[in-house]
Amino acid sequence: MTVLYAALPSLTNLAGSEEVAKIPVVAPGAADGIFALMWLVIALPLLGAVILLVGGPLMKGRMESWGHLLATALPVGSFGISVAMLVSLLDRSEEERQVGQHLFTWFQTGSFEVGLDLLYDPLAALFLLLITGVGSLIHVYSIGYMEHDPRRRRFFGYLNLFVAAMLTLILAGNYVVMFLGWEGVGLASYLLIGFWQHKHSAAAASKKAFVINRVGDIGLALAIALLFVTFGTSSFAGISAASGEATESTLTVVGLLLLLGACGKSAQVPLQAWLLDAMEGPTPVSALIHAATMVTAGVYLVVRSNFIFERAPHAQTVVVIVAVVTLLWGAVIGCARDDIKKVLAGSTMSQIGYMMLAAGLGVAGYPFAIFHLLTHGFFKANMFLGAGSVMHAMDDDVNMRHYGALSKATPITFATFAMGYLAIIGFPGFSGFWSKDKIIETALAENWIVGLCALIGAGVTGFYMTRLMLMTFFTKKRWAQGVHPHESPAVMTGPLIALAALSVLGGVLLLGDWIVEFLAPVTGVASEHEPPLPAIVITLLAVGVVAIGVAAAWFLVGRHEVPREAPQDVSFAVRAARADLYGDAINDSLVVGPGKSLVGGLTTMDEHGVDGGVEGGASFMAGLSGRLRRVQNGFVRSYALSVLAGALLIVLALLVVNFS
């Protein structure tokens, strides 16, 4: 804290530039009252993970009957604490809505001290509710979904581990603790993508996700190191107070490195290739980790680091470019895939692109990035769980070409999925409508090209989601032989209904600009920007573009017979989209291929150059000694001769020395 107060005067000196003065400083107060239980939010799921993963094997199978219930109860407990903390946070005045808790000194070397610090503020409060709330619902759903899996206890242990790591990431009070959570969610994601490791594709997908995430993590680690070198601290409070003193170029580099980390975790171009393969994991995992929470960590990172990005406009521009490319990239992939989960994964990429876009737009965009993140967490988790319910009904078939007319067979799944569908395309009144509309509006106000791309993305979203709906729930039956679709049990449909309700009602957060004002202590207050068009025109425009997308899907998919096999005589664009816009091919040719040649070259050099040199020297010496040992012939007289020769040599040498 002392660092902060020492830095405050210098910050006010900088107030000459108005933009800088508006960036709020992280200055948490002491954790008293209910906030003293902050650590428990993380500790509960962590305890669950330890009990299930360590205790389970020790109990030799006696935990199988109740382990998953314990694992579900603990995140619910965390949710309860989160709600209680939010309630008492709302009681406080705006200036006091930041609470810090120092648990203990984690490590210390020289002047580098890192404490296990937690920070609870409006931003963390919303995330906490999303993670523990949606996380609890997905735990409940998993009880039904994983009922017949012999390794259910382990699955729930991993889920709890993920929740604990994600909460650490969110509640961290400095970058190092956040990195701990960041790596923790990476590990949990790896374990859960490869949960069915007997499938080669799942094992490969988990490795791919891990390796690509490493690339991003290097960026984050370097950013943290650079921040420490520049500011001498890694805490949000210290850096936000002192960030005005650093040069813009330093902050730009930090911002770009942070963006690299965010790209890895949030599957943004160019590190997007892992997300579609990550769908190999069980569907609840896809819903929780690869849609609702973990993949949005990159957005959180950018918003949390607003005190860096606000002072590094070039880094912000790069964030916007990456976001726009990703939101179109993901949407195009979603249009062509037949695997229901991969369509949703492409859609996730695209929606995170929207969030990144809002986060890159600065103070005006931060609250809407978080708003869209929350509504997306609701409706995308809803749809992923719905997709899981459909797969449950269709004997784990994921190909939409084998679906059709499921609205009758699985009415609850259909009804809840429809709510998510209407939310994501931005049907007026649903949660996605409010959040996406705000992002498009902000983008148009900032730059009309970016805004136009966001509008086009909304139209494409309407197209691919309608295509998914039509192929799954409408059109004619194309079921495989012997498949008898049935509705899922109540333990699975319950969470679906809850999430559907949230998808519909999520928009209330925007009532009276509540979320904007609530987040203001973290993100700052935006200066009034006059949009190029009246807000109502932009809204009508967005709805119109979506309507065009929906209509296009109806004319191209809904009116025709959907073939059971994907047609092969398609245009280049469709082929490219089916191949994920050649993301893997680009990675192969740019990274994997050169890497392999480099390794091959190094191996050849090692085998022939280094090994050749060493082994050649050794065999030369061996040959030489083979010759030399012939001197030891066993004849005493030859030894005597060599002794005599040696003696004569010495005498001669002495004579030479003496006479010269």
Binding site for other proteins (CB under 8 A): 629-630, 632-637, 640-641, 644
Choice between 16 and 634, CB closer to other proteins: 634
CB-based contacts of 629: which residues, under 8 Å, 6+ apart?
none
* CA separation for the pair 390, 348 (Å, rounded): 19
Choice between 512 and 634, CB closer to other proteins: 634
Choice between 598 and 641, CB closer to other proteins: 641
CB of 211 to other proteins, least distance (A): 57
Tell me which residue of 142, 156, 158, 130 sits closest to 297, measured CA to CA.
130
CB of 648 to other proteins, least distance (A): 10
Q: What is the DSSP letter of 294?
A: G
CB of 619 to other proteins, least distance (A): 19
CB of 599 to other proteins, least distance (A): 46
Q: Are strands 29-30 and 112-120 parallel, antiparallel or unpaired?
A: unpaired
Choice between 5 and 639, CB closer to other proteins: 639
CB of 623 to other proteins, least distance (A): 15
Determine the length of the chain: 660
CB of 633 to other proteins, least distance (A): 5
What the block records as the tokens of 24 is: 């709020």
The answer to whether 331 and 350 have CB atoms below 8 angstroms apart is yes
Choice between 60 and 630, CB closer to other proteins: 630
Residue 478 burial (10 A CB sphere; 0-12, 13-18, 19+):
middle
Choice between 65 and 633, CB closer to other proteins: 633
CB of 645 to other proteins, least distance (A): 11
Choice between 148 and 627, CB closer to other proteins: 627
Choice between 625 and 658, CB closer to other proteins: 625
CB of 650 to other proteins, least distance (A): 15
CB of 628 to other proteins, least distance (A): 9
Choice between 40 and 645, CB closer to other proteins: 645
CB of 200 to other proteins, least distance (A): 59
Q: What is the SS3 assignment for 481?
A: coil
Q: Which residues pair with 118 in a beta bridge?
A: 101, 172
CB of 620 to other proteins, least distance (A): 19
What the block records as the tokens of 268 is: 């943004």
Helix (H) or strand (E) holding 108: strand 99-109
Choice between 476 and 629, CB closer to other proteins: 629
Q: What is the SS3 assignment for 120?
A: strand
Tell me which residue of 322, 205, 211 sits closest to 262, measured CA to CA.
322
Give the Cα-Cα-Cα angle 541, 542, 543 (nearest 5 degrees).
95
The answer to whether 435 and 368 have CB atoms below 8 angstroms apart is yes
Choice between 511 and 631, CB closer to other proteins: 631
CB of 622 to other proteins, least distance (A): 14
**Residue located via tokens 């389970």:** 56
Choice between 484 and 629, CB closer to other proteins: 629
CB of 598 to other proteins, least distance (A): 48
* CA separation for the pair 289, 163 (Å, rounded): 9
Choice between 628 and 657, CB closer to other proteins: 628
C-alpha distances (whole Å) from 277 to each of 13, 274, 285 are 51, 5, 13
Q: DSSP characters for 177-233?
A: HHHHHHHHHHHHHHHHHTSSTTSHHHHHHHHHHHHHHHHHHHHHHHHHHHHHHHHS-
Q: DSSP characters for 249-293?
A: HHHHHHHHHHHHHHHHHHT-TTS-THHHHGGGS-HHHHHIIIIIS
**Residue located via tokens 């929740």:** 163
Tell me which residue of 539, 43, 580 sits closest to 274, measured CA to CA.
580
Task: Indicate left, alpha or beta for 525 from its phi (over 0: left) and psi (-120 to 50: alpha).
Answer: beta
* CA separation for the pair 542, 545 (Å, rounded): 5
Q: Which amino acid is at 29?
A: G
Choice between 571 and 633, CB closer to other proteins: 633
CB of 594 to other proteins, least distance (A): 54
Q: What are phi and psi of 374, to 5 degrees?
A: -65, -50
The dihedral over CA atoms of 257, 259, 263, 268, expressed in degrees to the nearest 10, equals: -140
CB of 621 to other proteins, least distance (A): 16
Q: Which amino acid is at 450?
A: V
Choice between 104 and 635, CB closer to other proteins: 635
The answer to whether 419 and 430 have CB atoms below 8 angstroms apart is yes
